[in-house]
Chain A
Amino acid sequence: MNWHDFTFCGHRLRALPSGALFWPDERLLCVSDLHLGKSDRLARRGGALLPPYETRETLTRLDADLAATGALQVICLGDSFDDDMAAEALAEEETLWLLRMMAGRGWTWIAGNHDPAPMALGGEHRAEIHLGPLTFRHIAEAGAAGEVSGHYHPKASLAGKSRPCFLIDAARIILPAYGTYTGGLRSHDASLTALMAPTALAILTGPRCLVRPMPR
């Protein structure tokens, strides 16, 4: 078992070492901050020409998680595309790949700050979504309860090694960025310590999930 099971608002949830969150009872997989099409956006703006492989790398990992979990519902927690144009600029085979994964599954795109409305693809488009006691949205809100969000790209270190991580307390979960070309924000950052309770945990991603008190 390289994942980490925990109970959140009365429901059993599973943090996967890839950075995805799985809700076994609902067969629901949640990922955040895919940032698909990032290299394309940078190139379009006249910047560096980064290796244009991050989209297929991210989709490969997502495909593997879908196969492993047998998820029937998917929620992408926002910033799925690096901007609205990036959604349109996806290579045809990448779009087809994404559509193939979406086929036969409930698929919800939550709006992010980078990609308010990638409407060209199917699926549902929502600002936020409520399932039982849980609320899925892009950016955490102060005072929320049962909230699952992304946006911050949290990371934390253990034995001198820093990795993307989930942050979890009784009221909220913040997911790590799932996209390949993404950096991280140390959990010490004031914006994260202000949101998370003193007893919050950090679940580090990597070869397997490692749990530690959230460094602050």
Chain B
Amino acid sequence: MIDRSDEPALLLIAPTGGGKTLAGFLPTLAELADGRHRGLHTLYISPLKALAADIRRNLRTPVEGAGLPIRIEDRTGDTTYTQRRRQRADPPHILLTTPESLALLLSYEDAPRIFVGLRRVIVDEIHALAESKRGDQLMLGLSRLETLAPGLRRVGLSATVEDPPALARFLARNPDPCPVLLADPGPEPDISMLVTEEPPPWSGGGGRYAIPAILEEVKRHRTTLIFHNTRAQAEIFFHALWLQNSDDLPIGIHHGSLAREQRERVEQAMVEGRLRAVVCTGSLDLGIDWGDVDLVIQVGAPKNVKRLVQRIGRANHRYNAPSKALLVPANRFEVVECQAALDAVREHDLDGEPRGPGPRDVLCQHILATACAGPFEADRLYAEVITAGPYSALSRPAFDACLDFAATGGYALRAYDRWQRLMQVGGRWQLRDPRAATVIRQNLGTIIDTELLKVRLNNRFGGVPLGEVEEDFAASLTPGDTFLIGGEVVRYESLQEMTVQVSRQPGRDPRVAVFMGTKFSTSTLLTHRILDIFRAPSWPELPRHTAEWLALQRDVSRLPTEDRLLLESFPYDGREHLAIYGFAGRNGQQTLGLLLTKRMEEMGLAPLGFVATDYATLIWGLEPVTDPAPLFDPDLLRQGLETWLQGNTVMKRTFRNVAIVAGLIERSHQGRRKTGRQASFSSDILYDTLRKYDPDHLMLKITREEAMRGMVDFGRIEAMLARIGGRIDLIRRDRVTPLAAPMFFEPGKIPVEGAGRERLMSVAAERLMQEAGLA
């Protein structure tokens, strides 16, 4: 690292636990050792607040030990107001922060003064940041920093990725070169599937059946990390684990919905070696040094080989010891997925989709934030923006459209010339109303959470914060309902001032808190490997229960294959069902569900809803499908994409996210009560209005671009259609088939708003009226 410390940009790729973070700081420590540098020298950016705090601890020890005159501080959403103010007035030598906190710092008028002496930027876990808009925002931030502190050097630290040069181009200032350093990957991991006496359930997630076996493993190891794919699953699992933890092993829980105090307690206990295991989610995914972890357990199929490899790297921070990991399939389908993942890890087969160009909603936000810091010239800002890797191909007209949106709203109807947000004074753009800066700053960031409400435990002292739940979930509660949070069963008492008041209710069966888990699609690579496994005549490598299940499916119906599309049709619970085994990943299957239900609506089949998994879509409705050919005509599907693109739930959700990031609508802040019901209306109304009156508006264009890439993923449907080449098999059965059964338990069912829904609504209305004796 020291040898290459003069490179303008450098990407270091090392497996987790390779000591790469400290390596990234070596040139900084060397340059600061003589005590001559004044002000900020190095900015360290990580995707996690916890990581920033952790690095601060790890860095201070050697620095203070060697008596170096270096001030090291972190700054995140958790930093106190007083300390944040002091940091602006008198920045430390090394500041450890997150992309969001950096964006906020850059939006202050005194940003030029804060960053004037900056020499180095270290971006940790850059592979994780590059997976979302946070990475795009950060790279725009770096382009800004480069202007404030010319000659800045950038270092990216990444776990193993499939395409290092692409990540290097993302990091470097365009068109600077960016050499890639590859560290020794270390020994092969020791990874296997956990064998339990009890077979996994037919369906569902969570892996509760495996708790006895997992507790045995925890006992056999010093410290175990137990990863779950969603927060809700982590909560349920932790609760169940405690009920069976007869030896009282010290086990904690850690995820992003818990209150900061709760998370910090667990982190501290972990650092001090007081915990034997932590049940966690992606919030512990990244390079936090947890000391003595010697086993990683992944509950639920990993969905993505790359992430699995990174998680496995959490075990054994000693560089030359093999990492030890166990996969615990949550249900029988996941047994197959886990087997496919094991094969892929052994064969070093990493998955990954190429990154698209930098999204323009992030650019809109960046323009507004830049205006908060002070007046700017459009030409200069454009020149600066295209130095950011993700925006290197951005055209000037595309940039101007974003600037126009930020300034006037960018509507075809020029109603707002009077009320611009930005206006030009002497060739430079500035805020019309400087007070608007407060609102813009409050809305910085690209992470869109569903609306969350704080949960507090009622007591005499005003309440203990426990964590957060989704607003929709809170709205579904009535007093007396119980749910799980932080591993405790609590009783819902009331909703006060945007806070959910609860009391302790030990020992009762809880209703489950439904947190929004990040839904990753199973990668293309893994789905292909699963279809390969299905081809085998028998499955000696799989546990018997799963092999028998697949055999039963083959017997009752058939197994999906690579070159044909399998459909199953059956009645259940008074509804007609159609299962489509497209293996196009969760997002692709969801899009397929939207397109097919649209066609079914037109054909009078009265679809009511659907649910998508990584391998299939299940549609239910009032009429059966008998002839699938017209549903799967590729041209009609593509056409449907165009028409459907105009008006469905997923698009509206995408629009909402885009509109929040771009600054069209404000995110709702916890603790800040809405000013009145008239002030808040659904973003769906804005979407419908724009579609009707301004269909070429920038927000709709960005929404379409976004949908094509992420949540819609039509590319994988095209690939599937090419794969099957029109070979479709529809199998009719009189009951649920073995392979379709798990889908009935999938969360995230999407209703179809159509004739079927109206039919059901009027039936429901009549029934209610009759029951009330009014009709």
**Are A and B bound to each other?**
yes
Interface residues of A (CB under 8 A from B): 33, 35, 39-40, 43-44, 46-54, 56-57, 79, 91, 114, 152-153, 158-161, 177, 180-185, 199, 201, 204, 207-208, 210-213
Is B409 among interface residues, defined by CB-CB distance under 8 A? yes
Residues of A within 8 A of B686 (CB): 50-51, 181
CA distance A161 to B761 in the complex (A): 9
Please name all residues of chain B whose beta carbon is closer than 8 Å to the beta carbon of A212 when the two chains form the complex: 764-765, 768-769
B496 close to A (CB within 8 Å): no
Q: Among B418, B421, B693, B774, which residue has its beta carbon within 8 angstroms of that of A213?
A: B774
Instruction: Let me know if B529 is at the binding interface, CB within 8 A.
Output: no
When C-beta atoms are compared, the residue in chain A nearest to B666 turns out to be A48
Distance (Å) between the CB of A56 and the closest chain B CB?
7
Partner of A53, one of B663, B665, B694, B765: B694
Q: Which B residues touch A210, using CB under 8 A?
A: 761-762, 765
Nearest 7 pairs of A and B residues by beta carbon: A49-B409, A43-B419, A46-B433, A52-B415, A183-B681, A53-B693, A46-B436
Contacts of A159 in B (CB 8 A): 757, 760-761, 764
Q: Please indicate the chain B residues that have their CB under 8 angstroms from the CB of A56 in the complex.
A: 693
How distant is the Cα of A183 from the Cα of B436 in the complex, in angstroms? Answer: 24
CB distance from B361 to the nearest CB of A (A): 14
Main secondary structure of the interface of B (DSSP, over half): helix
Known: A48-B664, A51-B693, A210-B761. A181 touches B419 (CB 8 A): no
664-705 of chain B: CB within 8 A of chain A:
664-666, 677-682, 685-686, 689-690, 692-694, 697
Residue of A nearest to B431 (CB): A46
Q: Contact: B693 with A57, CB < 8 Å?
A: yes
Nearest Cβ on chain A to B248's Cβ, whole angstroms: 43
Query: Contact: A51 with B421, CB < 8 Å?
Result: no
Measured CB to CB, the nearest residue on chain B to A44 is B419
Shortest Cβ distance from residue A15 to the other chain B in the assembled complex, whole angstroms = 13
Q: Which of B757-775 contact A (CB under 8 A)?
A: 757-758, 760-762, 764-765, 768-769, 772, 774
Pair A183/B677 contact, Cβ less than 8 Å: yes
In the complex, the answer to whether B697 meets A51 with C-beta atoms within 8 Å is yes
| Known A-B contacts A44-B419, A159-B757; A51 and B694 likewise in contact (beta carbons under 8 Å) | yes
| Complex: A210 Cα to B764 Cα, angstroms | 10
Question: A114–B675 Cα gap in the complex (Å)?
Answer: 13
Most chain A CB within a 10 A radius of its CB, from B436, B677, B757, B762: B677
Q: How many Å lie between the Cα of A48 and that of B420 in the bound state?
A: 10
- Interchain CB contact under 8 A, A52 and B416: yes
Separation in Å of the B589 CB from the closest CB of chain A? 23
Residues from chain A with Cβ under 8 Å of B319 in the complex: none
Question: Are A52 and B409 in contact, with the CB atoms below 8 A?
Answer: yes
Q: Tell me the minimal C-beta distance from A200 to chain B in angstroms.
A: 11
Distance of A161 Cα from B754 Cα, bound (Å): 12
For B435, list chain A residues within 8 Å (CB): 46
State in angstroms the CA–CA spacing of A33 and B676 once bound together: 14
Closest to A151 in B: B678
Specify the chain A residue showing the minimal Cβ separation from B767. Answer: A212
**Could you list 20 further interchain pairs (A-B, Cβ under 8 angstroms) beyond the known A51-B689, A53-B689?**
A35-B678, A43-B416, A44-B419, A46-B433, A48-B663, A48-B666, A49-B409, A49-B664, A50-B665, A52-B411, A53-B690, A91-B415, A153-B677, A161-B761, A183-B677, A184-B677, A201-B774, A207-B758, A210-B761, A213-B774
Tell whether B208 is near chain A: CB-to-CB under 8 Å.
Answer: no
Q: Footprint of A on B, CB under 8 Å?
A: 408-409, 411, 413, 415-416, 418-419, 421, 432-433, 435-436, 439, 663-666, 677-682, 685-686, 689-690, 692-694, 697, 751, 753, 757-758, 760-762, 764-765, 768-769, 772, 774
Contacts of B409 in A (CB 8 A): 43, 49-52
How far does the alpha carbon of A177 sit from the alpha carbon of B678 in the complex, in Å? 9
Nearest Cβ distance between residue B606 and chain A, in whole angstroms? 14
A157–B765 Cα distance when bound, in Å, is 10
Q: CA A38 – CA B421 in complex, angstroms?
A: 16
Which residues of B have CB within 8 Å of A50?
A: 409, 664-665, 686
Contacts of A204 in B (CB 8 A): 765
A161 touches B757 (CB 8 A): yes
Beta-carbon contact of A153 and B663 below 8 Å: no
In the complex, A91 Cα to B413 Cα: how many Å?
A: 11
Q: Which residues of A contact B751 (CB under 8 A)?
A: 160-161
- Return the chain B residue nearest A46 by Cβ: B433
Point out the residues of chain B lying under 8 angstroms from A53, CB to CB. Answer: 411, 413, 689-690, 692-694
Contact B764 A158 (CB under 8 A): yes
Which of A43, A54, A208 is in CB contact (< 8 Å) with B689? A54
Q: CB within 8 A of B678: which of A44, A54, A158, A183?
A: A183
Q: Are A48 and B768 in contact (CB under 8 A)?
A: no
The distance in angstroms between the C-alpha atoms of A49 and B137, with both chains bound, is: 22
A174 to chain B, nearest CB (A): 13
- Separation of A36 and B771 alpha carbons in the complex (Å): 40
Cα–Cα distance between A153 and B436 once the two chains are bound (Å): 29
- CB of B413 within 8 A of CB of A52, answer yes
A210 to B772, CA, bound (A): 15
Known: A43-B416, A53-B694, A201-B774. Contact between A213 and B768, CB under 8 A?
yes
CB of A47 within 8 A of CB of B439, answer: yes
Contact A49 B408, beta carbon cutoff 8 Å: yes
Residues in A with CB closer than 8 Å to B765 are 158, 204, 210-212
- Asked if A48 meets B665 with Cβ closer than 8 Å, knowing A40-B415, A43-B419, A213-B769, the reply is yes
Contact B772 A213 (CB under 8 A): yes
Q: Which residues of A contact B769 (CB under 8 A)?
A: 211-213
* Minimum Cβ distance to chain B for residue A97 (Å): 14
Residues of B within 8 A of A39 (CB): 415
Taking CB atoms, residues of chain A closer than 8 Å to B665 are 48, 50
Sample of 9 A–B contacts (CB below 8 Å): A50-B686, A53-B689, A53-B693, A161-B751, A180-B689, A181-B685, A183-B679, A184-B677, A212-B765
In the complex, what residue of chain A is closest to B751 when comparing beta carbons? A160
Q: How far is the CB of B574 from chain A (nearest CB, A)?
A: 15
* Complexed CA–CA distance, A52 and B411 (Å): 8
A185 to B674, CA, bound (A): 12
Asked whether, in the complex, the Cβ of B692 is within 8 Å of the Cβ of A49, the reply is no
Contacts of B679 in A (CB 8 A): 183
Q: Are A182 and B678 in contact (CB under 8 A)?
A: yes
B768 adjacent to A185 (CB under 8 Å): no
Among the interface residues B678, B680, B760, which one has the most CB atoms of the partner chain A within 10 A? B678
Minimum CB–CB distance for B423 against chain A, Å:
12
Whole-angstrom distance between the Cβ of A4 and the nearest chain B Cβ: 10
Q: CA of A43 to CA of B682 in the docked complex: distance in angstroms?
A: 18
- CB pair B416 A180 closer than 8 Å: no
Task: Output the least CB separation between B762 and chain A (Å).
Answer: 6
Q: How far is the CB of B663 from chain A (nearest CB, A)?
A: 7
Look across to chain A and name the residue whose beta carbon is closest to the beta carbon of B775.
A211
Residues of chain A within 8 A (CB-CB) of B761 are 158-159, 161, 210
Q: Indicate if the CB atoms of A40 and B419 lie closer than 8 Å.
A: yes
Residues of chain A with a CB closer than 8 A to B753's CB: 161
Q: Which residue of chain A is the closest to B758 with respect to CB atoms?
A: A207
Q: Could you tell me the distance between the alpha carbons of A181 and B689 in the complex, rounded to whole angstroms?
A: 9
Residues of B within 8 A of A33 (CB): 678
Which residues of B have CB within 8 Å of A91? Answer: 415
Give chain B residues whose Cβ lies under 8 Å from the Cβ of A47. 436, 439, 666
CA–CA, A56 to B692, complex, Å? Answer: 11
A113 CB to closest chain B CB (Å) equals 10
**Separation of A209 and B411 alpha carbons in the complex (Å):** 34
Shortest B510–chain A CB gap in Å is: 23
Q: Which residue of A lies closest to B679 (CB)?
A: A183
Shortest Cβ distance from residue B598 to the other chain A in the assembled complex, whole angstroms: 17
Q: Please, which residue of chain A has its CB at the minimum distance from the CB of B439? A: A47
A92 to B663, CA, bound (A): 29
Q: Using Cβ atoms and an 8 Å threshold, which residues of chain B touch A181?
A: 681, 685-686
Return chain B residues, CB-CB under 8 Å to A54.
689
The interface centre, meaning the residue of A46, A79, A153, A207 with most chain B CB atoms within 10 A of its CB, is A46
How far is A213 from B409 in the complex, measured between Cα atoms in Å?
43
Enumerate chain A residues within 8 angstroms of B416, measured Cβ to Cβ: 43, 49, 52
B411 CB contacts on chain A under 8 angstroms: 49, 51-53
Would you call A183 and B680 a contact (CB within 8 A)?
yes
